[in-house]
Amino acid sequence: MSPDQHRSIIQQAAAQCGFSYCGISAAAFLEKEAKELEAWLQQGLHGKMQYMENHFDKRVDPSKLVPGAQSVISLMYNYYPPVEQSHENGPKIARYAYGEDYHFVVKDKLREMVSLLEEKIGQFTARIFVDSAPVLEKAWAKKSGLGWQGKNTNIIHPKSGSYFFLAEIICDISATPDGPIKDYCGTCTACIDACPTDALYEPYKIDASRCISYLTIELKDELIPETFHNKMEGWAFGCDICQEVCPWNRFSTPHTDKRLAAKEAIISWNTVDWQEITEEVFKQLFKDSPISRPKWSGFNRNLQFLQKAP
């Protein structure tokens, strides 16, 4: 088969497996991104996420992950919820965490897609990735034309916004690559203006150590720094502010994946309900949820920080 035929089969398989968009890049060394990542790390903008410093060579060279790699298949999987949290006074949960852990959901879709491609193309070498390995997923998504990287650093699709999980299949299939698309942020600075912690300190750049998602999930310290008191805007797990204000997300459409359906507690509980939750109940309710990541101790720390007097 020709690279064009491979590309067509890959796109069809992606759609069949429920991915909203699919793009392909040549599996080459990310020279520009390597320099940008090195500078970002040297400035300490990754906070205490030490794992970001590991496996630098693998992050910028797909052949280190899959020997003989020829293509990076980038995919977008919609997670925009059909329902929202109903209690305005309750702690806020990022929309991606409403349902089952996306690592499990999207990886199952990727395995299904690889099997489908093997039926159509034959055996090939591949590895699948969903935000849990040294892969610069935004860089690959941008290179493959899935969207542009906005001023909030998220990948934005011109027809569907940014509420998507990103995933990759790095493989030795030779497929015709797509190219990047234009940046449509223009003069808009809505995300930068709305960020309460100044994590978006200038267009297209983020100080992760100031991001509410980092503070509520990645930061493992016993206490959240006092400098962020009264700046969390009610977020107990993650943050969607820079997506909520993005004009392109007016095009977002609800997903239909039952595994991502919102847990009743997330949708309906108020502040008192959350304050009364025990560790045992927390573990039972959220054992298959992204919310389990900071564990009970971390999540409870977040709740307590939100409840502190002004």
Q: Which residue has the tokens 């983020």?
A: 206
- In angstroms, the CA 68 to CA 248 distance is 38
E strands of 208-306, at which residues?
235-237
Beta bridge partners of residue 157, listed in sequence order: 161
Return the active site residues: 131
Gyration radius of the chain over CA positions: 20
Q: What is the b/e burial string over 85-116, where b = at least 16 CB atoms within 10 angstroms of the residue's CB?
A: beeeebbbbbbbbbbbbbeebbbebbeebbeb
Question: By C-alpha distance, which of 128, 96, 103 is closest to 113?
Answer: 128
Q: Tell me if 82 sits within 8 A of 255, measured CB to CB.
A: yes
